[in-house]
Amino acid sequence: MTENATALHMVLTGDPVLFGIVRLSLAVSLSAVLFAALIGVPLGGLIALTRFRGREPVVVVLNALMGLPPVVAGLAVFLMFSRSGPLGSLGLLFTPEAMVIAQTVLVIPIIAALARQTIEDLWIEYRDELAAMDVGPVRRVRTLIWDARFSLVTALLAGFGRAAAEVGAIIIVGGNIEGFTRTMTTAIALETSKGELQLALGLGIVLMFVIVLINALAWGVRRAGEHFIA
Amino acid sequence: MNLPALSPDIPIRFIEVEILAGGVTILNRVSISIGAGAPTVLIGSNGSGKTTFLRAAMGLIPPSRGRITWGGRDAVPPKRRAIVFQRPVMLRRSVAGNIGYALAAASVPRDQRERRTGELLSLVGLQGLQARPARRLSGGEQQRLALARALARNPTVLFLDEPTANLDPAATKAIENIVQEVSASGVKVVMATHDLGEAKRLAGDIVFLHRGSVIERGPADAFFAAAATDDARRFLAGDLLI
């Protein structure tokens, strides 16, 4: 069998090694996106709706952090959780939890920056009406996040795309341990370097399929929302 | 509908109010008192200060100088006031969701909101459209929904900024009927329009603004029969006032 055919066979027969890696990858990246959304969306909303000294530099830094190199994020988390680091006693290094934290750090700026822009645009549109209704700051933030929810799906997608595709952060903090912290991207990197292309190709096929599927689902949710609500 | 018979927020008094924006004077030492009764209609050409007057009266723009009082109180505008903007923004919700939001913002108890929503939709003639996305409504329907949303606050004073601009005659008539009904129920209506026909149909008294100043103010009948100032006469004759 050629390498391509072997890879396809592994995917179609549900190869346990391959799908164990896929499961861990999805669990890590989706968890990271969830945590990053819980932090990034309110953070973006707060920056969008408040005026404070130094706001513009904060926006510039936040936008710049969208391009944070994964290896730098991984290194920062590694230093935090290494034995001599401030959180070393937690013993999280080389665990899936550390990988979730590293990806969360990587994804927060993406979600926060895109959420800030989305919410700020909607705020400009809603400002007069909400002021006329005497809507207070807390309800204002809730309203804008809720009404922008279908646009914010795009921010979550961008975050997921970043998390699912990155290898630098999780290989540093996860260690690419077989059966424990090995994900699709770290496995592809390792298998390719070993010249074992079947598993690498199989994982590549699944990774592409997952990304397309999640984008299609999000697109469907957004379209349905725009049609029935917006 | 449970609309008020008498407003405690009347009169609205502008005392030497000046509003500046970017160094430009938008309202120029305006002193005026708006009392209860039939609608007060602001007229004047574009840029005369009508919208700024309404926003200031609503409490959305603080005066640069002077002060505004509501029922003799100043500093804090009354809660029971509402405004419909010239281009109202529909929240990204259904028709009923827009009204429900306004009711919630006005602290109407949750168990009363459905009934009130039905009443308001009926008042503005949008019953049957409650599930439709608000942004899918026609321009006239959106104006009526904006009116319903404003009335959800159970206002004692209602400000309307050119509520029929860009609407066809049928939609204009529908809005004017609602305004008359609301006014008859005791709500003080203060509205801006550039449509002199509409001003004649609705106004109890007229405030004529030009370049940020109140040039003339008086009962609508007297104003349209014999305006006292040269600027007002020229405006009524259709001259361009620059």
pLDDT at position B6 is: 59
The domain that holds A47 is classified in CATH as 1.10.3720.10
Range of the domain at A46: 3-228
CB B192 within 8 A of CB B162: yes
| Domain assignment of residue B24, yes or no | yes
Predicted structure pTM score: 0.83
Task: Enumerate residues 6+ apart whose C-beta is below 8 A from B115.
Answer: none
Residue span of the structural domain in which B224 resides:
12-89+156-236
Cβ–Cβ < 8 Å for B27, B50: no
The β-bridge partners of B190 are B40, B159
Which of B228, B175, B229 lies closest to B198 in space, CA to CA? B175
Classify residue A114 by burial, with Cβ atoms within 10 Å: 0-12, 13-18, 19+: buried
Q: Which residues of B touch A133 (CB under 8 A)?
A: 101-102, 105-106, 149, 153
Inside any domain, residue B58: yes
**Domain assignment of residue B102, yes or no:** no
**Chain B hits for A131, Cβ within 8 Å:** 60
- ipTM for the predicted complex comes to 0.87
The residue among A122, A129, A143, A144 with the most chain B CBs within 10 A of its CB, best to mutate, is A129
The verdict on residue B60 lying in a domain is: yes
Mark out chain A residues that contact chain B at CB-CB < 8 A.
125-126, 128-129, 131-135, 139, 143, 147-148, 228-230
pLDDT value, residue A230:
60
Domain tally for chain A?
1
Low-confidence ranges of chain A (pLDDT < 70): 1, 3, 228-230
Each residue's pLDDT tens digit in chain B (242 positions)? 444 445 678 899 999 999 999 889 999 999 999 999 999 999 999 999 999 999 999 999 999 999 999 988 876 777 889 999 999 999 999 999 999 999 999 999 999 999 999 999 999 999 999 999 999 999 999 999 999 999 999 999 999 999 998 788 988 999 999 999 999 999 999 999 989 999 999 999 999 999 999 999 999 999 999 999 999 999 998 887 77
Quickly count: other Cβ atoms within 10 Å of residue A65's Cβ.
16
Asked if B94 and A128 come within 8 Å (Cβ–Cβ), the reply is: no
Question: Is B29 within a domain?
Answer: yes
pLDDT of residue A181: 95
The DSSP-derived string for B63-112 is -SEEEEEETTEESS--SSEEEE-SSPPPPSSBHHHHHHHHHHHTT--HHH
Q: How far is CA B221 from CA B40, B69, B178, B204, in A?
A: 12, 28, 22, 8
Beta bridge mates, B32: B14
Please check whether residue B114 lies inside any domain of the structure.
no
From edge to edge, which strands make up the β-sheet containing B81-84?
B81-84, B157-161, B188-192, B40-43, B205-210, B213-219
Asked whether the beta carbons of residue A230 and residue B92 sit closer than 8 angstroms, the reply is yes
Asked if B93 lies within 8 A of A139 by C-beta distance, the reply is: no
CB-closest option in B79, B89, B150 to A126 = B89
The residues that bridge with B208 in the sheet, in sequence order, are B43, B216
Structural domain tally of chain B? 1
pLDDT of residue A170: 96
Give the pair of three-digit tokens for residue B25: 């004077």
Query: The domain that contains B54 carries what CATH number?
Result: 3.40.50.300
Residue B58's nearest CA partner among B79, B73, B44, B32 is B79
